A and B are shown apart, each in its own frame.
Chain A
Amino acid sequence: GENVEQHPSTLSVQEGDSAVIKCTYSDSASNYFPWYKQELGKRPQLIIDIRSNVGEKKDQRIAVTLNKTAKHFSLHITETQPEDSAVYFCAASKHNAGNMLTFGGGTRLMVKP
């Protein structure tokens, strides 16, 4: 089955700096790659996603890039703010996969004011 690895497991940045979280996946048939943000004590929520027919997608301060050849995708957060502090999960999915989403192990991002 699919295996998703996520790095780093923890990331500390200064407010205003950029943060990058990277994920690799194993199944070349995967075609959908969402990112979820989980604030402390809350449920995970979708923040951005990308499909395999697109190389990059941006939404204000967050962007995701996908390299299908290398089977990796990354989340980029620019101008980080304290409210960006959370655990971020990447995931991968493919069409007709009953188990839908395979998640990475998560990255705890801490933005220091």
Chain B
Amino acid sequence: EAQVTQNPRYLITVTGKKLTVTCSQNMNHEYMSWYRQDPGLGLRQIYYSMNVEVTDKGDVPEGYKVSRKEKRNFPLILESPSPNQTSLYFCASKQGGNTGELFFGEGSRLTVL
């Protein structure tokens, strides 16, 4: 089954404790991206990757890091989480080019105390 898998789905952590949200896709997609969803603000892009070893900042990259060592994986790293990073996070992937469906993972709800 074609899918984008994120883990963990739910996490409560404390300020400053490093965490990683993993993302994996099995569709051989070139493009992967992370979004955060906050009420009234829609889906805002954090980082994206056009292919292996190619990553770039989206609209709200501060406080986040990513890596793309393999085509299928695109982890999101919060080196020192802060309460303003409490949000619902979505990983997504698609084929190259600007058209076509963006496939989302099920989301990871993160709470930073």
Q: Which A positions have Cβ atoms within 8 angstroms of B?
A: 1, 6, 9, 31-32, 34, 36, 42-46, 49, 51, 89, 93-106
A9 to B41, CA, bound (A): 10
Given A45-B104, A105-B42, are A100 and B90 neighbors across the interface (CB < 8 Å)?
no
0 or 1 for each of B19-60: is its CB under 8 Å from A? (1 = yes) = 000000000000101010000111111001010000010110
How many residue pairs at the A-B interface have CB separations less than 8 Å? 63
B84 adjacent to chain A (CB < 8 Å):
no
- Find chain B residues with CB under 8 A from A96 CB: 98
A18 to B101, CA, bound (A): 26
Q: Which B positions have Cβ atoms within 8 angstroms of A?
A: 31, 33, 35, 40-45, 48, 50, 56, 58-59, 90, 94, 97-99, 101-102, 104-107
Determine whether the beta carbon of A98 is less than 8 Å from that of B99.
Answer: no
Determine whether the beta carbon of A32 is less than 8 Å from that of B98.
Answer: yes
Determine whether the beta carbon of A105 is less than 8 Å from that of B98.
Answer: no
Determine whether the beta carbon of B41 is less than 8 Å from that of A98.
Answer: no
- Find chain B residues with CB under 8 A from A46 CB: 101-102
Given A45-B104, A93-B98, are A98 and B43 neighbors across the interface (CB < 8 Å)?
no
Determine whether the beta carbon of B99 is less than 8 Å from that of A32.
Answer: yes
Determine whether the beta carbon of A43 is less than 8 Å from that of B107.
Answer: yes
Determine whether the beta carbon of B50 is less than 8 Å from that of A98.
Answer: yes
Chain B minimum-CB-distance residue to A2: B59
A49 to B6, CA, bound (A): 26
Given A32-B99, A43-B107, A46-B102, are A100 and B48 neighbors across the interface (CB < 8 Å)?
yes
A76 to B45, CA, bound (A): 26
Determine whether the beta carbon of A43 is less than 8 Å from that of B42.
Answer: no
18 contacts between A and B (CB under 8 A): A31-B98, A32-B98, A42-B106, A43-B90, A44-B104, A94-B98, A97-B98, A98-B48, A99-B48, A100-B33, A100-B45, A100-B94, A100-B98, A100-B102, A101-B102, A102-B59, A104-B42, A106-B40
